[in-house]
Chains A and B, each alone.
Chain A
Amino acid sequence: MSILNIQDILETVNMLREENLDIRTITMGISLFDCAGPDAGRVADRVYDKLMRRAKDLVKTGEDIERTYGIPIVNKRVSVTPISMIGASLSPEGYVTVARAMDRAAKDLGVNFIGGFSALVQKGFTAGADAMVTAIPQALSETERVCSSVNVASTKAGVNMDAVRRMGATIKRLAFLTKDEDSIGCAKFVVFANVPEDNPFMAGAFHGVGEPECVINVGVSGPGVVASAIDRAGDCDLSALADTIKKTAFKITRMGQLVAYEAARRLDVPFGIVDLSLAPTPAVGDSVAHILEKMGLEQTGAHGTTACLALLNDAVKKGGVMASGHVGGLSGAFIPVSEDAGMIDAVRAGSLTVEKLEAMTAVCSVGLDMIAVPGDTPEAVLCGMIADEISIGVANTKTTAVRVIPAYGKRAGDQVRYGGLLGSAPVMPLNIRSPEKFISRGGRIPAPIHSLKN
């Protein structure tokens, strides 16, 4: 068929028909620096007005691109300047007022999440960050679509253990305030090390301080496509398998790049980055765990899982990076438990534990993600979990994160259910021996020696 190849066309159509290929998110980053001020009501009004003005065509444009190119675009979202920076002098109540305005804007715009109720405290708290972190439990429990993140560490700054200690209390409070919905508030809150400032994925997205006034970032996905490609590759060796994954990632990313450029052009906003992530959903055939199993594991969590994930993550990046002009965000494989049917099965079967998940995060793009743990988990244990995970990121100069749900009233083996993209998860047991004394020391873990690169 002229310059198009029939098999290529059918391959693409099959990815869409059978393998759940989609663009996971178009996220518009919007600077809110010009909304700053000392009065919470006025800040909230300015935030609402600016979001409505800047993002008014986002959802419609996304839908038009979907229909023109025939590619599903699952989410249209907004990320904003870390709110702790624009609300610097506000009280915690003032920050809650701003969160409500963000939520109202998200609903009126038709976007399902808005990210950026965030603070960067890797070296310490400003007065604004202090008040904003205090406001997180109330802000997230009284809103539906607002997502929040706190960066508590970086390879350059080390780990702010005073911040880590506050995160345990914040998460527990959030779990309590949203106890009627299986502590869903915790699913909208992420603790980071080395947070990327152009990540389009929730709950950790925000619009970084070095970003332009407005920008379009796109997150691609496609675990099902990679799984099918591995199936077709048959009994090849691992060099050939890595090559198959690379080629598949290239194709998926090209689609993301096309959509990103087109969205930026239509919205007259600069294109930022494409995030090359394999983001699973609870849908059948959309699981990262199943990719690992197709690579040759009896079940995810088996010895060998970390090696499989390392190969997968690296091949996805190598294939994707050539397909896009600018790559950024998290870029790699996501391993959220509740959002991945294969991960859920592996946890239920006793194959996948929190400790193995922690090891896996050393070689993939995120961290301990969407993990439900018993509601009576002591704060210090949560803080210890966070400190461990964050230290992996700091020592390895990579992003790591914790999105953990101490589901109120639930015990190990119970279920939490959120529906939609957030899925459901078995409550996982933890080692509850106390790290209390270590955590209560406070202070900062110094930056590792290899941060001194100048």
Chain B
Amino acid sequence: MRAVITVIGKDSKGIIAKVSGACYEYGANIIDITQSVLREYFAMIMLAECDSLSVPFTEFARALSALGEQNALDIRTMHEDVFQSMHRI
């Protein structure tokens, strides 16, 4: 499965390094990465292949969320089907 990882917060140095470091640590393969602006916030969006994670997906999602909390960022890791369902007929 593929997951969409969104990182939202104030822009600061090392955000990409921290999140991609965590992806590497848990065995997620980053396929695509882009950034945008959501209202006044910095928004980074990653698409990651999660078939060979070293932990269950829910734990990976929780670890990224915790990483976000430590860095005052909102990090959400969601199955890509959410976006496919909502925005594709």
Contacts and interface: CB of A to CB of B under 8 A. Distances in A.
B77 A8 contact: no
B17 interface: no
Contacts of A13: 6, 8, 38, 43, 76
Contacts of A255: 82, 85-86
Interface stretch (A28-36, A61-69, A394-402): A61-69
A22 to B, nearest CB: 13
A71 B61 CA distance: 12
A258 B80 CA distance: 11
Given A16-B76, A258-B82, A6 B47 contact: no
Contacts of A64: 58
A453 interface: no
A306 interface: no
B73 interface: no
B81 A9 contact: no
B38 A14 contact: yes
Interface in A1-47: 1-14, 16-17
Tell which of A1, A3, A71 has the most Cβ of chain B within 10 Å. Answer: A1
Given A2-B47, A13-B8, A14-B38, A69 B87 contact: no
Nearest to A10: B38
B74 to A, nearest CB: 7
A19 to B, nearest CB: 12
Contact of A69 (B8, B31, B38, B79): B79
B58 A12 contact: no
A392 to B, nearest CB: 35
B23 interface: no
> Per DSSP, are chain B's interface residues mostly helix, strand or loop, or mixed?
strand
B32 A9 contact: no
Interface string B57-89: 110011000000000001011111111111100
B87 A258 contact: no
A254 B85 CA distance: 6
Given A2-B47, A4-B47, A9 B83 contact: yes
Contact of B85 (A6, A7, A17, A258): A258
Contacts of A16: 76
* Contact size range, B: 20 to 34
A69 B82 contact: yes
A7 B36 CA distance: 9
B4 interface: yes
**Contact residue range for chain A?**
20 to 34
Contacts of A6: 34, 36, 45
A250 B57 CA distance: 28
A4 B85 CA distance: 11
Among A1, A9, A67, A68, which residue has the most Cβ atoms of chain B within 10 A?
A9
A4 B86 contact: no
- Which among A67, A254, A255 has the greatest number of chain B C-beta atoms within 10 A? A67
Interface string A48-71: 000000000000000010011111
A310 B14 CA distance: 51
Interface in B45-63: 45, 47, 57-58, 61-62
Contacts of B8: 13, 17
B16 to A, nearest CB: 15
Given A8-B86, A9-B6, A255-B82, A2 B32 contact: yes
Given A6-B34, A12-B83, 15 more contacts: A1-B34, A4-B47, A8-B83, A9-B6, A10-B43, A14-B39, A67-B62, A68-B58, A69-B81, A69-B82, A70-B76, A71-B82, A254-B85, A255-B82, A255-B86
Interface of B: 4, 6, 8, 31-32, 34, 36, 38-39, 43, 45, 47, 57-58, 61-62, 74, 76-87
22 contacts: A4-B47, A5-B87, A6-B34, A6-B36, A7-B36, A8-B83, A8-B87, A10-B36, A10-B43, A10-B45, A12-B82, A13-B76, A16-B76, A64-B58, A67-B58, A67-B62, A68-B58, A69-B81, A69-B82, A70-B61, A251-B87, A254-B86
